[in-house]
Structure 1
Amino acid sequence: MNPVVQDDGPKILNRIHERGVALAIWKRASPNGLAEWLGSLAPEQLPAGRFVSTIEHARSGLSTLCDIVGLACPQRELLIDDVTTLVRAFAETTGRDRVDIRLEAVDHDSCWRFHHDYVGFRLNATYRGPGTQWPPLAHAERAARAQRGYGGPLNEVAPFSAALFKGVKLAGKSALLHRSPPVAGRSVTRLLLCLNEEDDD
């Protein structure tokens, strides 16, 4: 069975509960104008921060992150709406009332090593820059050994798509090896959304 399932509807995320599924990807396009607007921002204007919230209060927390960097333009509502949609989808899929929400502006090699997440579930979505990468299963051992020296094939989550991983706590050795793409020295600043269950780091 393929451990990765993909579809263009949110119901695909529910398949993460199936035995043998380690990654469920909800393939999504950018809301109208959001990708262009985010791409036009200077790195210091990208909202970043971390907080734990219910679905109902997620918007308020996200608005605060935008206020901190002075994003007062109407386009910010597109981002807030979209992140809130993913928070709701994650909470409903995992059955949790509270979600650990992290937006991060990344211009360095954060989590560049091929690794497994020691969590139950984690959802990643990249709003700017390259997305999370994972090697095909047949190349996973070689990637884990070689790390930066790995030159084999890689899959990459498309921008705005929601990638829901089943971590080691639930999948054990079947958890999918993956990494954040190395961007140091490339004049690239990613905007990454990471959602975890509360008290799961």
Structure 2
Amino acid sequence: MSILAETFGPLPTPQAQVSNELSGLAGIYQDGVNMMVWQRELDTETQQAVRAVLEAGDNFSLNQIVTPDNVTKSLERGLPNVPEREALIRDIALLVDAYCCLFDIDTAGLRLTQVNSAMCPRFHVDQVPCRLITTYQGPATQWLEEGSLNRQKLGRGSNGQPDRSSGLIKADATIQQISVGDVALLKGERWEGNEGRGIVHRSPAVAAGQYRLLLTLDMA
């Protein structure tokens, strides 16, 4: 049990919430929220930028420590040099600025990855305070509602069995999925007072010949 629960009593059951506004991501500060999603649709220019970058790239992966002031230059150095990329760079710069502002931090750990397989195929929790994640193309992150899982079966608790047969996922559970373009804040185990309550999620399967373009931001 967390210190907060011992002091103030049981915390509310963690849940995901959604907003249609960027400002709604501040809802992650609520004790009962372990995932906050900004639901949005990528504009045509950004979609074209994503396609151009993927067509020009070759399974590229950028891992950088960035600030709101230098992220544009960092991406210009790291992304395939195609004219359309500017729209994607602007969108990522917006998210870096929002993430740093929301958590009052100067730097963020940025990872932008082109992938053709599930990076983390098993359901798990992140050992971080809070991670931003968005999928620009391809299937997006999957997650489980609290009432659909048995946390004791996470990790070693599965005894090496697949998620479907370990008892982690309840029989009547529906696996939830974020949409392409949505921006999600995933509260992890290292958020103060959130021990044992991190959002349970996984990378989706990727079909043969399909690619994902995935962005994550972490506190650096």
Coarse TM-score class (shorter-chain normalised): 0.7 to 0.9
Residues 34-183 of structure 1 aligned to structure 2 (within 5 Å): 34-39=46-51, 41-42=54-55, 44=57, 48-66=61-79, 69=80, 71-73=81-83, 75-141=84-150, 144=154, 145=158, 146-147=162-163, 152-170=173-191, 171-183=194-206
Q: Could you say what the CA RMSD is over the residues aligned between the two structures, in angstroms? A: 2.2
For residue 197 of structure 1, what is the aligned residue in structure 2?
219
Question: How far is the alpha carbon of 1:46 from its aligned partner?
Answer: 6.6
CA distance in 2, matches of 1:58, 1:140: 38
Counterpart-to-counterpart distance in 1, 2:197 and 2:26: 18
Q: Equivalent residue of 1:14, what SS?
A: helix
Partner of 1:13: 25
Cα distance in 2 between the residues matched to 1:169 and 1:135: 19
The one-letter amino acid paired with 1:49 is L
What is residue 24 of structure 1 aligned with on the other side? Answer: 36
Q: From the CA coordinates, give the structure whose radius of gyration is larger.
A: 2
d(CA) in 2 for partners of 1:31 and 1:163?
18
Q: Cα distance 1:194–1:138, how it changes in 2: closer, same or farther (>3 A)?
A: same
The aligned counterpart of 2:7 is: none
Aligned to 2:4: none
Other structure's SS at 1:55 match: coil
- Where does structure 1 lack aligned partners over 5 or more consecutive residues? none
- 1:167 shift after superposition: 0.7
Residue 63 of structure 1 aligns to a residue whose secondary structure is helix
Give the alignment's TM-score, normalised by structure 2: 0.80
Aligned mates of 2:71, 2:86 — CA distance in 1: 13
One-letter identity of the residue aligned with 1:153: T
The one of 25, 28, 33 aligned to 2:45: 33
1:113 touches 1:148 (CA, 8 Å); kept in 2?
no
Alpha-carbon shift at residue 191 of structure 1 (Å): 0.4
- Give the CA deviation at 1:45: 5.1
- Structure that is richer in helix per residue: 1
CA drift of 1:186 comes to 2.4
Name the CA shift for 1:148/1:189 in 2 (closer, same or farther; >3 Å): farther
Letter in 2 for 1:5: Q
For structure 2, which runs of at least 5 residues remain unmatched after alignment? 1-12
Normalised TM-score (structure 1): 0.87
Query: Aligned-pair distance for 1:148?
Result: 5.8
Aligned residues: 193
- TM-fit CA distance, 1:65: 1.3
CA distance in 2, matches of 1:96, 1:36: 31
The sequence identity of aligned pairs, in percent, is 27
Residue 2 of structure 1, CA deviation: 5.7
